[in-house]
Amino acid sequence: MKIAVVGTGYVGLVSGACFAEVGNRVACVDIDQKKIDRLKKGDIPIYEPGLEDMVLRCHKRGDLEFTTDLSLAMENSEVVFIAVGTPMGDDGSADLSYVLGVASQIGQTMTKEVIVVDKSTVPVGTADRVHEAVQKELDKRGVAIPFQVVSNPEFLKEGNAVRDFMSPDRVVIGSDSQEALKKIHALYGSFSFNHDRVISMDVRSAEMTKYAANCMLATKISFINEIANICELVGADANKVRLGIGSDSRIGYSFIYPGAGYGGSCFPKDVNALIKTARDYGYTGRILESVEAVNRDQKKLIPAKVVKRFGEDLTGMIFAVWGLTFKPNTDDMREAPSITLIKELTSRGATVQAYDPEGREQSEGFYLKDVPRLSYYESKYDALKGAEAMILLTEWKEFRSPDFFEMGKLLKNKVIIDGRNQYDGETMKAEGWEYSFVGEPGER
Over residues 378-400, the pLDDT tens digits come to 999 999 999 999 999 999 999 99
Q: What is the pLDDT of residues 394-418, one digit of tens each?
A: 999 999 999 999 999 999 999 999 9
Q: How far is CA 431 from CA 94, 319, 332, in A?
A: 49, 21, 34
Q: Is pLDDT above 90 for 12?
A: yes
Q: Which residues are catalytic?
A: 266
Give the helix/strand (H/E) hosting 354. strand 351-355
Q: What is the pLDDT of residues 257-307, one digit of tens each?
A: 999 999 998 999 999 999 999 999 999 999 999 999 999 999 999 999 999
Q: What is the pLDDT of residues 26-83, one digit of tens each?
A: 999 999 999 999 999 999 999 999 999 999 999 999 999 999 999 999 998 999 999 9
Q: State percent of the chain over pLDDT 70.
A: 99
Distance CA 75, CA 290 (A): 48
Burial class (CB in 10 A: 0-12, 13-18, 19+), 239: buried
How large is the average pLDDT for residues 425-432?
94
**Angle of CA points 372, 374, 378, to nearest 5°:** 155
Distance CA 187, CA 5 (A): 14
| 166: number of Cβ within 10 Å | 16
Burial class (CB in 10 A: 0-12, 13-18, 19+), 430: exposed
Distance CA 299, CA 303 (A): 8
Q: What are phi and psi of 196, to 5 degrees?
A: -70, 120
Dihedral (C-alpha) 280, 281, 284, 289: value to the nearest 10 degrees? Answer: -50
Q: State the pTM of this model.
A: 0.93
Q: Are 151 and 118 a contacting pair, CB within 8 Å?
A: yes
* 93 vs 283, more confident: 283
How large is the average pLDDT for residues 154-177?
95
Q: What is the pLDDT of residues 64-78, one digit of tens each?
A: 999 999 999 999 899
What's the pLDDT band for 444 if we cut at 50, 70, 90?
Answer: very low
pLDDT confidence of residue 193: 64
End-to-end CA distance of the chain: 64
How large is the average pLDDT for residues 362-368?
96
pLDDT confidence of residue 90: 85
Residues in the chain: 444
Output the average pLDDT for the chain.
96
Distance CA 246, CA 256 (A): 8
Q: Are 377 and 353 a contacting pair, CB within 8 Å?
A: yes
Beta bridge partners of 336: none
Burial class (CB in 10 A: 0-12, 13-18, 19+), 178: exposed
Per DSSP, 364 falls in state I
